[in-house]
């Protein structure tokens, strides 16, 4: 069948798309930037890559275990958690991803990525179950907020250190966190509207947890990567900057993996939205 034409994002005349160097880099670049891998199997990985650069980091698309080399942190993007799990298993990525977290790398899951990191799925699990990375001591409801047509946005108060401004959170067929373990810090909660509370069996439930942090793990139900606000990415870069670069694979193996890689998307080509205009393409810091 004929290939679909590429999407054409609309940029203002003065916006320039991000130029990513194809030259191999060392784990600690000359500029001293924090290297963040973004799992690029499916979902909003390009938007995350662009925001990592906006926040001052170095973004690496990860589709092979070798591409984790030298990364201080890893983002698991929004998308479809079962699809990502199936592709990750087929491409033998589960063990390297678990090893990355076990060796102290920072990991952040957004939306589907939150499900991927959760230890437990209480509701909404696919028939026959689905494989999870685990590690985050939370219980999630996979489709708490409903289907695609129930997607919404809200202004959230959140516990970002040193910044108490509300955050514009976009929830797209979003999961919710039903409970957390003792070692999990709650970063944001969403107050449920009356119509949503009427749908629930537990009528006393007034708020639901939508962002958490546990040691080197972070998760959000919403999608910070498709807003103009980079504060969550800045926070994650600060977390990842305290982690040693991943040494589970050799840098030379990573360079070979990059050399044979077929790029699907150039990070920064996809703009993010403000209320009425495109925020523009990412630029090198």
158 is a catalytic site residue: no
Bin 43: left if φ > 0, else alpha if -120 < ψ < 50, else beta. left
223 is a catalytic site residue: yes
The answer to whether the beta carbons of residues 162 and 179 sit under 8 Å apart is no
The closest alpha carbon to 35, from 22, 46, 49, 17, belongs to: 49
- What are the CA-CA distances from residue 244 to residues 35, 121, 216, 282 (Å)? 10, 31, 12, 26
66 is a catalytic site residue: no
Q: Which of 111, 158, 189, 243 is catalytic?
A: 111
The answer to whether the beta carbons of residues 55 and 96 sit under 8 Å apart is no
Q: Which of 48, 51, 72, 223 is catalytic?
A: 223
Span between the terminal Cα atoms of the chain, in Å: 41
Q: How many CB atoms lie within 10 A of CB 39?
A: 28
- Helix (H) / strand (E) element for 100: namely helix 94-102
Q: Which of 47, 225, 233, 243 is catalytic?
A: 225
Q: Which residues pair with 169 in a beta bridge?
A: 154
Round to whole Å and give the CA distance between 4 and 197: 42
Q: For residue 121, report the phi and psi dihedrals to the nearest 5 degrees.
A: -110, 120
Catalytic positions, written as ranges: 111, 223, 225
């Amino acid at each position: 069948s004929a290939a679909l034409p590429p999407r054409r994002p609309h940029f203002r005349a003065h916006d320039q798309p991000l130029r990513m160097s194809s030259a191999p880099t060392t784990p600690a670049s000359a500029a001293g930037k924090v290297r963040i891998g973004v799992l690029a199997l499916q979902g909003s990985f390009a938007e995350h890559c662009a925001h990592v650069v906006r926040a001052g980091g170095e973004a690496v698309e990860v589709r092979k275990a070798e591409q984790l080399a030298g990364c201080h942190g890893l983002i698991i993007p929004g998308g479809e958690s079962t699809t990502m799990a199936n592709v990750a298993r087929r491409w033998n990525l589960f063990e390297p991803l678990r090893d990355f977290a076990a060796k102290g790398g920072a990991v952040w899951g957004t939306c589907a990525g939150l499900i991927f990191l959760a230890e437990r799925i209480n509701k909404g699990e696919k028939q026959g179950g689905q494989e999870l990375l685990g590690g985050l001591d939370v219980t999630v409801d996979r489709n708490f907020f409903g289907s695609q047509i129930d997607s919404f946005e809200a202004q959230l108060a959140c516990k970002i250190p040193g910044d108490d401004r509300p955050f514009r959170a976009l929830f797209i067929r979003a999961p919710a966190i039903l409970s957390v373990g003792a070692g999990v810090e709650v970063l944001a909660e969403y107050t449920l509207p009356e119509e949503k509370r009427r749908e629930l069996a537990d009528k006393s439930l007034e708020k639901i947890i939508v962002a958490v942090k546990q040691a080197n793990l972070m998760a959000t139900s919403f999608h910070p990567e498709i807003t103009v606000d980079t504060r969550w990415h800045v926070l994650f870069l600060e977390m990842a900057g305290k982690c040693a670069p991943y040494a589970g694979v050799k840098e030379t193996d990573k360079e070979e993996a990059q050399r044979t890689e077929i790029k699907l998307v150039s990070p920064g080509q996809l703009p993010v939205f403000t209320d009425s205009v495109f925020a523009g393409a990412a630029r090198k810091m």
